[in-house]
Amino acid sequence: MSATILDGKATRDAIYDDLRSRVAVLAEAGVRPGLGTVLVGEDPGSAAYVRGKHRDCAKVGITSLRRDLPADATQEQVATAIDELNADPSCHGYIVQLPLPQGLDTGALLERMDPAKDADGLHPVNLGRLVLGETGPLPCTPRGIVELLRRYDVPLAGAKVVVIGRGVTVGRPLGLLLTRRSENATVTLCHTGTKDLAAEVRRADIVVAAAGKPGLITADMLTPGAAVLDVGITRTEDGLVGDVALQAREIAGFVAPMPGGVGPMTRAMLLTNVVEAAERAVRSA
């Protein structure tokens, strides 16, 4: 038995079809959504992600606003780029590509963003809204994971979900999202202090691996039929590798592979957050 693939590319394409028609409605109201990116330095991985986001914007009809700064940019220079995007009415949402180079105060820069333009959902105000159950932009990777499971009818209500990783972009906000009443999953967040990872994973109906450790999840850890989502990405000499060993796919009932699973959904949710921000701007005009 081999697993049903949770196909992030096909799902992204369906989402982009929907976004294109919403962009057309916005155009009738005289608004073209704009996504900004702030990229500091020349890390090839970060540069590739930012290129991918702008390529997707072009497919959907979203204007791209790039702010590329040198690796030695000062705190003030990055702050100025943020202030400009906050003030620019053609920018409905933007992201500060993480991680920032050493020496920059990431927290201060994220807090400087206008929470209404936070396309990543990572501003402290928006993370606070998520905790409080108030509406706001949702973090892209967690939202993409929930959307992927929903579209493949993988049941979440009452499901036992084990998340490996408590990072602020994936694991921590995913726990918050999945434990809302609308999802109603029971979540365990694992990390390097977890005593027996294999025992935790074995209990799971759904496993989300977001540690960034190649091959961390092996076939023997899984209950047959479990859904396994490979989120982790590690750059090696042989290319990008995920956290889930290939043999685990034979045991699983559903697999979101890396590549082709959660990554494309992350980008689709980023663009969705921007279109939603533009729709709010039109409604409040």
Ligand X SMILES: NC(=O)C1=CN([C@@H]2O[C@H](COP(=O)(O)OP(=O)(O)OC[C@H]3O[C@@H](n4cnc5c(N)ncnc54)[C@H](OP(=O)(O)O)[C@@H]3O)[C@@H](O)[C@H]2O)C=CC1
Ligand Y SMILES: Nc1nc(=O)c2c([nH]1)NC[C@@H]1CN(c3ccc(C(=O)N[C@@H](CCC(=O)O)C(=O)O)cc3)C=[N+]21
Q: Which residues are catalytic?
A: 53, 97, 120
Could you give the count of Cα atoms lying within 13 Å of 2 in the half-sphere of its Cβ?
6
263 binds Mg ion (CB under 5 A): yes
Interacting span for ligand X (CB under 6 A) from 71-79, 89-97, 155-163, 206-214: 206-214
Rule CB under 6 A: say whether 140 interacts with ligand Y. Answer: yes
190 binds ligand X (CB under 6 A): yes
Contact 97, 39 (CB under 8 A): yes
What residue numbers does the annotated binding site for NADP(+) cover? 165-167, 233
Applying CB under 5 A, among 36, 137, 139, 261 the residue interacting with Mg ion is: 261
Near ligand X by CB under 6 A, which window of 155-163, 174-182, 258-266, 269-277? 258-266
Residues binding Mg ion: number (CB under 5 A): 4
CA distances from 171 to 80, 97, 267 (A): 31, 18, 17
The residue (of 32 and 202) whose beta carbon lies closer to ligand X is: 202
With respect to Mg ion, which residue has the nearer C-beta, 91 or 95?
A: 95
CA nearest to 144, candidates 3, 20, 285, 14? 14
Yes or no: say if 216 and 209 are a contact pair by the CB < 8 Å rule.
Answer: yes
94 makes contact with ligand Y (CB under 6 A): no
Q: How far is it, in rounded angstroms, from Cα 282 to Cα 227? A: 39
ω into 259 cis (within 30 of 0): yes
Is residue 100 close enough to count as binding ligand Y by CB under 6 A?
no
Cα distances from 240 to residues 87, 236, 250, 257, in angstroms, run 37, 6, 21, 12
Determine, following the binding rule CB under 5 A, whether residue 162 of this chain makes contact with Mg ion. no
Residue from 137, 171, 173, 175 that binds ligand X (CB under 6 A)? 171
Question: Of 258, 268, 271, 278, which lies in the binding site for ligand Y, with binding defined by CB under 6 A?
Answer: 258
Minimum CB distance to ligand X smaller for 159 or for 170: 170
Q: What six digits make up the tokens of 127?
A: 């993370």
- The binding site for Mg ion (CB under 5 A) comprises 258, 261-263
